[in-house]
A = this chain, B = another copy of it.
């Protein structure tokens, strides 16, 4: 009669194995969709490597690499409708790009520029630094959508570590109680900085946490873009009907936590090796080759194009006029108080004094 620890066995959804072989039958997905998924992944990978390099050169600030998580991010974001909203954390650049967030502004974000969170109309909330806080904003967004009948699903992106925060719990519970059009998309990349997921929670899977909230959940191979894409579609369908869903995408953070982190302090090279073999790009690429809709020429061309796109975005970022401290005072309230006006003013006089 007791509930025993981890009694629920969980099966992981997978369509493509590590070598790009289809498991089971082919899902309903067009060649264009497949190729588009892969192109986005290439762009994400190129962006990530460039960002890392730029950080090492001191041209951008702290950056949280996403290599290894392209399938999870691109697969999920590609399934969104335009009216849906993303509530990202700091590692979701790729998902945000797919949903329309300008790469230029992401670079500006890493450069500590005030325009760094300008989505330019895309339905992407500003990057959230406070772990799991975005889950509640997504709840509020989904709630607004339900109230206004916007047919918009709110997707909260978070990591395995994020599930330990109280805000995750409160958000899941609210989503369940109000039956909100929401997806909690957890990228379980095995690590929260230096803490492996096995020490983050005693729950064997993240997805079983759905059981605490009377919510549906599904675990998917987060390195299999096809599985993620198809599963996210299902999840969005349910969410649109007011059935919130928790998705656990099992993936891996190939790089450091951020450019300020040294993962050799806490994890084995062998762990990394194992997971590099499961690289998300490799898998879909092999599948596309096998399917005959991709080849080396296209591959080369796509990488070149991606390099160009990234270069252009970075150039634009670099050429954006620098932020000025005086702008800050206009961003605190719709109308600034006399105190803020005076402080803003003091900066002007300070220059005179200088």
- Tell me the A residues contacting B by CB distance below 8 Å: 1-8, 10-11, 13, 164-170, 173, 176-177, 179, 199-204, 207-218, 243, 246
Interchain CB contact under 8 A, B218 and A202: no
A158 to chain B, nearest CB (A): 14
Residues in B neighbouring A3, C-beta threshold 8 A: 8, 10, 207-208, 210-211, 216-218, 246
Tell me the complex Cα distance, A152–B164, Å.
26
Which chain B residue has the least Cβ–Cβ distance from A220? B1
Interchain CB contact under 8 A, A170 and B164: yes
Task: Find A1's partner among B7, B13, B165 (CB 8 Å cutoff).
Answer: B13
Q: List 15 A-B contacts (CB under 8 A).
A: A1-B11, A1-B218, A2-B216, A2-B217, A3-B208, A3-B211, A3-B217, A4-B216, A8-B8, A164-B170, A166-B170, A168-B169, A169-B170, A201-B213, A203-B211
Residues in B neighbouring A13, C-beta threshold 8 A: 1
A-B interface, 9 closest residue pairs, ranked by CB to CB distance from nearest: A166-B166, A176-B202, A169-B169, A202-B214, A212-B212, A3-B217, A209-B212, A211-B211, A203-B214
Task: Find A201's partner among B8, B11, B176, B210 (CB 8 Å cutoff).
Answer: B176
Residues in B neighbouring A210, C-beta threshold 8 A: 3, 5
Interchain CB contact under 8 A, B200 and A6: no
Tell me the complex Cα distance, A215–B199, Å.
14
Interchain CB contact under 8 A, B177 and A201: yes
Q: In the complex where A1-B13, A11-B1 touch, is A203 in contact with B208 (Cβ < 8 A)?
A: no
Which chain B residue has the least Cβ–Cβ distance from A175? B202
A237 to chain B, nearest CB (A): 12
Which chain B residue has the least Cβ–Cβ distance from A178? B202
Tell me the complex Cα distance, A210–B217, Å.
16
Tell me the complex Cα distance, A167–B166, Å.
6
A112 to chain B, nearest CB (A): 31
Tell me the complex Cα distance, A207–B3, Å.
8
Tell me the complex Cα distance, A168–B165, Å.
11
Tell me the complex Cα distance, A203–B11, Å.
22
Interchain CB contact under 8 A, B164 and A211: no
Interchain CB contact under 8 A, A202 and B211: no
Tell me the complex Cα distance, A211–B7, Å.
8
A120 to chain B, nearest CB (A): 34
Which chain B residue has the least Cβ–Cβ distance from A199? B177
Tell me the complex Cα distance, A215–B6, Å.
7
In the complex, besides A3-B217, A211-B211, 12 extra interface pairs with C-beta distance below 8 angstroms are A3-B211, A3-B216, A6-B214, A164-B170, A168-B169, A169-B169, A173-B201, A177-B202, A201-B213, A202-B215, A203-B211, A203-B212
A233 to chain B, nearest CB (A): 13
Residues in B neighbouring A168, C-beta threshold 8 A: 169
Of A11, A165, A173, A179, chain B has the most CB atoms within 10 Å of the CB of A173
Tell me the complex Cα distance, A208–B216, Å.
14
Tell me the complex Cα distance, A131–B136, Å.
19
Which chain B residue has the least Cβ–Cβ distance from A208? B211
Residues in B neighbouring A216, C-beta threshold 8 A: 2-5
Which chain B residue has the least Cβ–Cβ distance from A235? B2
Tell me the complex Cα distance, A199–B214, Å.
12
Task: Find A213's partner among B202, B207, B218 (CB 8 Å cutoff).
Answer: B202
